[in-house]
Chains A and B, each alone.
Chain A
Amino acid sequence: MKQYLILLKGKKELNYSPEELQKRLEAYREWTFDLGEKYVISQRLEREGAHFVDKETIKTDGPFLEAKEIIAGYVIFKADNLEEAIGITKTLPLIDHFEAFLRPLISAD
């Protein structure tokens, strides 16, 4: 089994109602529970940070990034192959709110 990384990038303004926020929270927790042993870790990233184009050029810094530019978080999970990983990513409830980049992690051995 290989590990796969989903990188989440905001695609619209984060303007959800309290009810929607709760629904999203519940949906996500259920998803990780349903994945069982295949779930490894996930983490949200704070909105502050910087975007370097090169050593001299910082495109953005500070907490004022637009929501749609933010790399909002990542999820790592296990799957047998890319096909299965794509299938799992399609069930991720956050897919409605974010763009997702799915990539296999190269294992150390």
Chain B
Amino acid sequence: MSLLPDAKQLTEHFFRHNYAKMVAVLVRYFGLDQVEIAEDIVQDTLLEAMEKWSVGEVPHNPGGWLMDVAKKKTINRLKRDQLFQSKVAPNLLPDSFNAEVETDSTLRMIFACCHPLLPNESQVALALKTLCGLNIAEIAHALLTNEATVNKRLYRAKQKFRNGSIQFEIPYNAKLHERLENVFTTLYLLFNEGYYSRHSEKMIRMDLCFEAIRLLKEIIIAFPGFAEAKALLALMLLNVARFESRMDHHSSLIVLAEQDRDTWDQSLIAEGVDYLYQSMSGNQLGQYHLQAGIIAEHCLAQDFRSTNWVSIYQQYSLLIKMNDSTLLRMNQAIARFYTGEQREALTDLLSLQNEPEVRENALYHTALAVFQAELGQHEPVTHHFMLALSYSTSKSEQQLIRKKMET
């Protein structure tokens, strides 16, 4: 008798995501300071599942099966360790592992891992370990670092768990908004880690992006009233839709003209735009709204020229009011150029030339050269193209600059 290949009935990353879910539930009983015990029990549970399901049927409700086994192992563990019996056993009621508890535990874990007391790089490593179910080797690989560094980052985080400075709880009232902002920051870090990584493996980068999206969706289901979360989700979806032709961290709008719009994922764009509309229900307008709004204009435009540059220019202006930076001003000037205010835009751009962030920025000089060429000022054009070439660090960027030089 041969088995059906029904292991495919397990969703993608089923083990990984259930690992994270079960650890969160068990930490409820053991406490954050004992997260390692929870991790051991869950790992053991998955091993048992792998052994059983390799040769037998996969149960109809594999998630429930895992939770039951983990629960039995937890009780066995407690019987061996009398000290915990009084603390944990009374909480282990028969129905204490239901879906509601699972969701609640996962949310608590998200808040714990995105706690502002944890250093940023620890937050990302911890999120990958505890919220996404990656092991140390996989985290090291994803973050382009080594296992010792990952262990160090996790150790620092777990120290905070052990000394009791971080609670396993869902914040409420006034604190909730502040703590949610920390969660958004961490998830955005996780997303950017995938999106802007120098990693050569596309699978791994996409994976990090989609993990951030998955966790953010859980937050939105739990706290539907927070428009900022929907704006951030829109931003992530619209970015990931253009993954194939993405820009790097410091690149500018000028590159966009060259992007192949056929590679953009239309269903992700539709989902992103939908979340962006939903995020506009309140009267909040934050950075995520504006960033997503700018990308949405690009995604919805037929081509580079017919883009709504006035809207983009205005959104950059608002962003600058919130959080001024030279790179934002550079992009604002570029948007202005395409609105038709070419001379004003060139003046804006030239006024930035002594700023350290753009002085050696290849794209800044490319933009200058392109503007000057369009305005018929031939003298400085070559100069800026040469500067752009000399500051450029990537081959594809240099190709782009040469292409612009010829036209």
A residues with CB within 8 A of B: 14, 16-19, 21-22, 24-26, 28-30, 32-33, 35-37, 39, 42-44, 73
Q: Determine if B93 is an interface residue (Cβ-Cβ < 8 Å).
A: no
Chain A hits for B52, CB < 8 A = 44
Contacts A33-B4, A33-B5: A19 and B134 contacting too (C-beta < 8 A)?
yes
Contacts A17-B137, A21-B47, A44-B51: A32 and B3 contacting too (C-beta < 8 A)?
yes
Partner of B138, one of A19, A25, A29: A19
Chain B hits for A32, CB < 8 A = 2-3, 55
Binary flags per residue of B114-139, CB closer than 8 Å to A gives 1, else 0: 00000000000000000001110110
Chain A hits for B138, CB < 8 A = 17, 19
Q: Which of B6-14, B29-37, B105-113 contacts A (4 or more CB under 8 A)?
A: B6-14
In the complex, the 5 A-B pairs of residues with the closest C-beta atoms, listed nearest first = A17-B135, A18-B15, A22-B15, A29-B7, A18-B19
Chain B hits for A17, CB < 8 A = 16, 133-135, 137-138
Chain B hits for A25, CB < 8 A = 7, 10, 49-50, 53-54
Chain A hits for B47, CB < 8 A = 14, 16, 21
Tell whether, in the assembled complex, residue A21 and residue B6 are in contact, meaning their CB atoms are under 8 Å apart.
no
Q: Determine if B46 is an interface residue (Cβ-Cβ < 8 Å).
A: yes
Contacts A26-B10, A29-B54: A19 and B2 contacting too (C-beta < 8 A)?
no
Partner of A18, one of B4, B46, B54: B46
Q: What's the least CB distance linking A23 to chain B, in Å?
A: 9
Question: What are 8 A-B pairs at a CB distance below 8 A?
Answer: A17-B135, A19-B16, A21-B15, A25-B7, A25-B54, A29-B54, A44-B54, A73-B51
Number of interface residues of B (CB under 8 A): 30
Chain B hits for A43, CB < 8 A = 55
B residues with CB within 8 A of A: 1-8, 10, 13-16, 18-19, 43, 46-47, 49-55, 133-135, 137-138
Contacts A36-B2, A42-B55: A21 and B50 contacting too (C-beta < 8 A)?
yes
Complex Cα distance A25/B54, Å?
5
Chain B hits for A22, CB < 8 A = 10, 13-16, 50
Chain B hits for A36, CB < 8 A = 2
Tell whether, in the assembled complex, residue B46 and residue A28 are in contact, meaning their CB atoms are under 8 Å apart.
no
Complex Cα distance A21/B6, Å?
16
Chain A hits for B54, CB < 8 A = 24-25, 28-29, 42, 44
Q: What's the least CB distance linking A65 to chain B, in Å?
A: 15
- Closest Cβ neighbor of A33 among chain B residues: B5
Complex Cα distance A29/B51, Å?
11
Chain A hits for B6, CB < 8 A = 29
Tell whether, in the assembled complex, residue B15 and residue A29 are in contact, meaning their CB atoms are under 8 Å apart.
no
Q: What's the least CB distance linking A94 to chain B, in Å?
A: 9
Chain B hits for A24, CB < 8 A = 50, 54
Q: What's the least CB distance linking B349 to chain A, in Å?
A: 47
Q: What's the least CB distance linking B210 to chain A, in Å?
A: 14
Complex Cα distance A32/B3, Å?
7
Complex Cα distance A33/B5, Å?
6
Complex Cα distance A43/B53, Å?
11
Q: What's the least CB distance linking A82 to chain B, in Å?
A: 22
- Closest Cβ neighbor of B207 among chain A residues: A19
Tell whether, in the assembled complex, residue A18 and residue B133 are in contact, meaning their CB atoms are under 8 Å apart.
yes
- Closest Cβ neighbor of A36 among chain B residues: B2
Tell whether, in the assembled complex, residue A35 and residue B14 are in contact, meaning their CB atoms are under 8 Å apart.
no
Tell whether, in the assembled complex, residue B46 and residue A21 are in contact, meaning their CB atoms are under 8 Å apart.
yes
Q: What's the least CB distance linking B364 to chain A, in Å?
A: 42
Tell whether, in the assembled complex, residue B5 and residue A30 are in contact, meaning their CB atoms are under 8 Å apart.
yes
Q: What's the least CB distance linking A49 to chain B, in Å?
A: 15
- Closest Cβ neighbor of B138 among chain A residues: A17
Partner of B2, one of A18, A21, A39: A39
Contacts A18-B16, A43-B55: A29 and B5 contacting too (C-beta < 8 A)?
yes
Complex Cα distance A22/B54, Å?
10
Chain A hits for B7, CB < 8 A = 25-26, 29-30
Chain A hits for B51, CB < 8 A = 44, 73
Tell whether, in the assembled complex, residue B133 and residue A19 are in contact, meaning their CB atoms are under 8 Å apart.
yes
Chain B hits for A29, CB < 8 A = 3, 5-7, 53-54
Complex Cα distance A30/B264, Å?
34
Complex Cα distance A25/B47, Å?
10
Complex Cα distance A21/B3, Å?
19
Complex Cα distance A21/B19, Å?
11
Partner of A19, one of B3, B15, B55: B15
Chain B hits for A21, CB < 8 A = 15, 46-47, 49-50
